[in-house]
A and B are shown apart, each in its own frame.
Chain A
């Protein structure tokens, strides 16, 4: 069951994310943005979803704070890898259609995500848990427009994920507060990236709290291979 939970996390990936990404891109283009054919998430190579073939296990019920933190870490890995990859692939000169400092902001966001990963790994380890490891991902980014559009999707998803998961840390005041301090920063990123995509930075009065199952469904298509399947169920504190 434990393994199934982890597998499910990696299994479900992207229809929702692809759709959202594509729609952001098309809106951006309609608004006079790039005409480049930005395949974006649409071309994600979904390596045999059947290989991960069970969708029934829903990671709704975390068995302890370490599970919640590993859930957060899974998303932070995704984000950190995303920015590391494309900040390396693209450079400042690729963002000619954007404001001057967009690239440096993306670098900054990437640094935040890496800091979140490092902190979560450290806390999970301190608690006697086994931090999940980075997986391999395919974000389908082809150019800076699809980079920025996918970034917005990931940050909005991350914000919704933290909003939905915070309640599972209600018994752990310090961990809850720590999670909230990350949550706010993800929301700041989301706001900025929405703005960059020509969208409203704060679309609603209230954030949507996403359940783990919803997050899994959106994120899974991005994860093409699981490099390791850690067993987080044996450590103390679960």
Chain B
């Protein structure tokens, strides 16, 4: 997993340096998922065991707050970012789909906040972020990286959920994240489904990836 993480972190750095470079930005997501087959290998492989063992959430609320942290990041990214663009900045149809993605992330945030509250937990709040893009191409590159990371994060955390209902609920979100990732890869000129398996990431790995976006 370490190799995979380094690969992705490197790709993110590279990506942020290349925000001005149209259409060249997505490699992060693609590289991330390229390791997926290896990560799955066969259930029971030491790598997967280690991955699963690395989860140290103390409750389902912890897992949900972890998910909420990422959903906040995503929603803020689209909500604020799309205000700076119009349909003309993208290929035909793309802007409308980005609006849809934004609304999905907003729904995910609202739902997670509500469920965490119902469970007696304290929902984490939105932070301040710096996504480091400065044009539409850069925006699309970061969008793809976020969505691909989101899928890996949910896949890595799923096994920590103890309630079947909450697991199913998380499953209904991760599939939509994967749909977003596929589409965003595609419009970035990348492979929508780069490997036969997703690549689960541990919370530590995800935080290292997402951390640079969080300024406060």
Contacts and interface: CB of A to CB of B under 8 A. Distances in A.
A112 B195 CA distance: 7
Given A178-B43, A184-B155, A187-B179, A167 B197 contact: no
A191 B183 contact: yes
B196 interface: yes
B186 A182 contact: no
Contact of A178 (B40, B108, B167, B171): B40
- Interface of chain A, helix or strand or loop or mixed? helix
A18 to B, nearest CB: 24
B192 A166 contact: no
Nearest to A178: B43
A85 interface: no
B3 to A, nearest CB: 17
Interface stretch (A8-16, A28-36, A201-209, A221-229): A201-209
A193 B52 CA distance: 32
Contacts of A98: none
Size band of the interface chain B makes with A: 35 or more
A60 interface: no
Interface string B34-49: 0011011011100011
A187 B178 contact: yes
Contact of B193 (A170, A192, A206, A207): A192
Contacts of B175: 159, 162-163, 183-184, 186-187, 207
A188 B200 contact: no
Main secondary structure of the interface of B (DSSP, over half): helix
Contacts of A159: 175
A181 B180 contact: no
A194 B149 CA distance: 22
Chain A: interface size category: 35 or more
A131 to B, nearest CB: 14
Interface in B37-69: 37, 39-40, 42-44, 48-49, 51-52
Q: Which 7 A-B pairs have the closest CB atoms?
A: A187-B178, A188-B182, A207-B175, A191-B179, A205-B107, A184-B198, A173-B159
A189 interface: yes
B153 to A, nearest CB: 11
